[in-house]
C-alpha cells in the first residue's frame, strides 16, 4: 500500500503540461520538479539508516506519510513554481526516499531465504504506483487542474498512513542497521563501490530520462491526445513486470548477466525510437525500457545484499544509490533542455541510447560475488 502511493512519483510526467500551463513555465523548469524529487529522495536513502535506528517502524511510516502529505498540499495550493519545488521536490522526495529505502531493506531482512523475491515485490509495488496513478491523476487534472491532482495524492496518503503503520507494528520485526548489528564493521572496498556506482548510474539514467518524459515522448510520436495518459501506464507496467522477475532472475543468473541483458535491450529500443519515432515504436519502446529498468532496480540491491549482507548492505546500498539520484537529477532535466532546443526528443533519445550502451560496457566492471571479503578490503 505504501509503495503504491509513493511510487506515483514516477507518473510525474502526467503533470508536465498542467505545470507549464498553470505557472507559465518551460518544459525544463517543469521537469526540474521531478529531478529535484529524485535527488532529495537519493539523499535520504543514503542517510536513512541513521533515522531507522532511532525510531520504530510505526513511527517512521507515520512520519513519512505526514511529511509527504504536507509537502503535496504545499505544492498543490501554492501560487508559484518555487513552492512546488519545495513541497513536491524536497518534502515529498525526502519522505519518499525514507519510505522506499526502509521498506526495501525491511523486506530483505524479514525474508532472508527469499530476499531476491521479497525485494522484487517491493520494487514491483513501487512501479505499480506509477501504473495505477496516471488515470485518476488525468481525471483530476481535467476537472480541477494541478491542485486537484495534488489533493487526490494527499487524500491517498492520509487514508493509507494509519493502516500501513499499524501493519508494520503488528509484524513484530524491527530493522537492524549496520551500527546496531556490528559496531566494529571494518572497511568496505571503495573501488568495488565505485564500480557498482558507475554501472548502476549508467543503467538507470536512460530509464529515468524516459520515465520523466513519457507523455512528452508519446505526444511527439503523434499519439492521439486522448490517449497520452497511457504512456506512463505502459512504462510502469513494464517496470512492474521487470521488478517481479528481476529479483528472481538475479538469484538464478547473477547480476552481471542480467545487467548485460537489460542494458542491451534498453539501448536497442532507444535506438529504434531515435531512428523512427511513431506511436507504435514509442509505446513498444516505453514498455521494453520500463521492463529493463524494473529488472535493474530489483537486481542491484539484491546483488549488494549478497556481496555485503542484508544488514551491512543498507549503508552500501545508500552509497551506490546516489548514482540513481545523480541520474534522476540530470537525465529528466537534461531531456527537458534538449526538447526546448529542438522542439522534439530526437537528441534526448540519442543520448539515452548512448547511456544504455555505456551501461552494457560498464558491466565488465561489475564485481563478482567472490571479489568481496568479509572485511571488504581491496
Q: Is 66 inside any structural domain?
A: yes
Residue length, the chain?
A: 378
Q: Which has more pLDDT, 219 or 187?
A: 219
- Quote the Cα angle for 249-251-257, to 5°: 60
Q: What is the CATH number of the domain that holds 334?
A: 1.20.1250.20
> Is 238 contained in some domain?
yes
CA quadruple 139, 140, 146, 151: dihedral, nearest 10 = -150
pLDDT of residue 174: 76
Q: What is the pLDDT of residues 269-319, one digit of tens each?
A: 999 999 988 889 989 999 999 899 888 888 888 778 777 776 777 778 878
d(Cα 258, Cα 269) in Å, to the nearest integer? 17
C-alpha cell at 211: 520515465
Cell of residue 364, nine digits: 565488465
* Interacting residues of 344 by C-beta distance below 8 A, sequence separation 6+: 220
Average pLDDT over residues 101-106: 87
Rounded to 10°, the helix 255-275/230-253 angle is: 150
In a domain, 377, yes or no: no
Residue 376 domain flag? no
Alpha-carbon span 256 to 364, nearest angstrom: 8
At 215 the pLDDT is 85
- Is residue 57 within 8 Å of residue 156, measured between CB atoms? no
Query: pTM of the full predicted structure?
Result: 0.71
Give the range of the structural domain holding residue 304, as residue numbers without chain letter: 2-371
Q: How many CB atoms lie within 10 A of CB 94?
A: 19
Q: Evaluate if residue 54 carries a pLDDT over 90.
A: no
Question: Cα 295–310–322 angle (5° rounding)?
Answer: 60
Residue 183, class by beta-carbon neighbours within 10 Å (0-12 exposed, 13-18 middle, 19+ buried)? exposed
pLDDT tens column, 115-150: 777 877 888 888 888 878 888 998 999 889 999 999
Q: With respect to residue 378, please indicate whether it lies within any of the assigned structural domains.
A: no
- Cα dihedral 22, 4, 165, 63, rounded to 10, equals -30
> How many CB atoms are closer than 10 A to CB 137?
24
**How does the average pLDDT of the chain come out, rounded?**
84
Number of C-beta neighbours around residue 374 at 10 A: 9
Nearest to 206 by CA among 369, 363, 348: 348
Q: 70 CB contacts (<8 Å, ≥6 apart)?
A: 87, 91
What is the structure's pLDDT at 368? 66
Closest of 153, 143, 104 to residue 125, by C-alpha: 104
CA 189 – CA 317 distance, rounded (Å): 13
Place of cell 488515470: 135
Question: Between the CA atoms of 127, 131, 136 and 140, what dihedral angle is there, to the nearest 10 degrees?
Answer: 70
Q: Dihedrals φ, ψ of 11, to 5°?
A: -100, 15
Count CB-CB contacts under 10 A for residue 128: 20
Higher pLDDT, 204 or 189: 204
Distance CA 272, CA 334 (A): 21
Say if CB 75 and CB 22 are below 8 A apart: no
Q: What is the pLDDT of residue 184?
A: 39
Residue 340 scores a pLDDT above 70 = yes
Task: Round to whole Å and give the CA distance between 79 and 56.
Answer: 37
At 377, the pLDDT band (50, 70, 90 cuts) reads very low
Q: What is the CA radius of gyration of the chain?
A: 19
Question: In 3D, which of 259, 19, 57 has the Cα closest to residue 168?
Answer: 57
Please state the separation of Cα 271 from the chain's center in Å. 23
Domains: count for the chain: 1
* Band (55; pLDDT cuts 50, 70, 90): confident
**Residue 318 in domain:** yes
The verdict on residue 317 lying in a domain is yes
Amino acid at each position: 500500500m505504501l509503495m503504491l502511493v509513493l511510487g506515483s512519483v514516477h507518473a510525474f510526467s502526467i503533470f508536465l503540461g498542467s505545470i507549464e500551463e498553470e505557472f507559465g513555465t518551460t518544459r525544463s523548469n517543469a521537469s526540474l520538479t521531478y529531478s529535484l524529487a529524485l535527488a532529495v529522495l537519493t539523499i535520504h536513502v543514503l542517510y536513512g539508516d541513521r533515522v531507522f535506528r532511532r525510531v520504530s517502524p510505526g513511527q517512521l511510516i507515520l512520519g513519512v506519510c505526514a511529511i509527504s502529505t504536507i509537502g503535496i498540499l504545499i505544492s498543490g495550493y501554492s501560487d508559484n513554481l518555487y513552492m512546488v519545488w519545495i513541497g513536491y521536490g524536497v518534502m515529498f522526495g525526502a519522505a519518499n526516499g525514507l519510505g522506499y529505502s526502509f521498506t526495501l531493506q525491511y523486506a530483505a531482512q524479514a525474508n532472508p531465504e527469499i530476499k531476491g523475491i521479497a525485494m522484487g515485490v517491493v520494487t514491483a509495488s513501487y512501479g505499480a504506483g506509477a501504473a495505477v496513478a496516471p488515470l485518476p491523476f488525468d481525471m483530476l487534472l481535467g476537472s480541477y487542474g494541478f491542485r486537484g491532482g495534488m489533493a487526490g495524492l494527499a487524500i491517498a496518503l492520509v487514508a493509507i498512513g494509519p493502516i500501513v503503520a499499524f501493519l508494520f507494528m503488528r509484524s513484530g520485526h524491527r530493522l537492524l542497521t549496520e551500527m546496531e548489528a556490528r559496531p566494529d564493521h571494518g572497511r568496505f572496498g571503495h573501488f568495488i563501490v565505485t564500480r557498482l556506482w558507475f554501472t548502476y548510474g549508467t543503467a538507470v539514467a536512460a530509464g529515468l530520462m524516459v520515465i520523466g518524459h513519457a507523455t512528452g515522448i508519446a505526444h511527439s510520436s503523434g499519439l492521439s491526445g486522448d490517449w497520452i495518459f497511457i504512456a506512463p501506464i505502459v512504462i510502469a507496467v513494464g517496470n512492474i513486470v521487470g521488478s517481479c522477475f528481476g529479483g528472481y532472475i538475479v538469484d538464478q543468473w547473477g547480476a552481471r548477466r542480467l545487467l548485460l541483458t537489460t542494458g542491451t535491450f534498453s539501448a536497442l529500443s532507444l535506438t529504434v525510437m531515435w531512428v523512427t519515432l511513431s506511436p507504435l515504436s514509442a509505446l513498444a519502446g516505453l514498455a521494453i525500457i520500463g521492463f529493463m529498468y524494473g529488472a535493474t532496480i530489483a537486481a542491484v540491491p539484491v546483488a549488494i545484499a549478497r556481496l555485503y549482507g542484508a544488514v551491512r548492505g543498507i549503508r552500501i546500498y545508500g552509497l551506490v544509490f546516489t548514482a540513481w539520484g545523480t541520474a534522476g537529477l540530470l537525465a529528466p532535466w537534461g531531456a527537458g533542455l534538449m526538447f526546448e532546443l529542438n522542439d522534439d526528443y530526437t537528441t534526448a533519445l540519442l543520448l539515452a541510447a548512448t547511456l544504455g550502451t555505456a551501461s552494457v560496457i560498464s558491466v565488465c566492471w561489475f564485481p563478482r560475488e567472490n571479489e568481496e571479503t568479509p572485511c571488504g578490503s581491496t
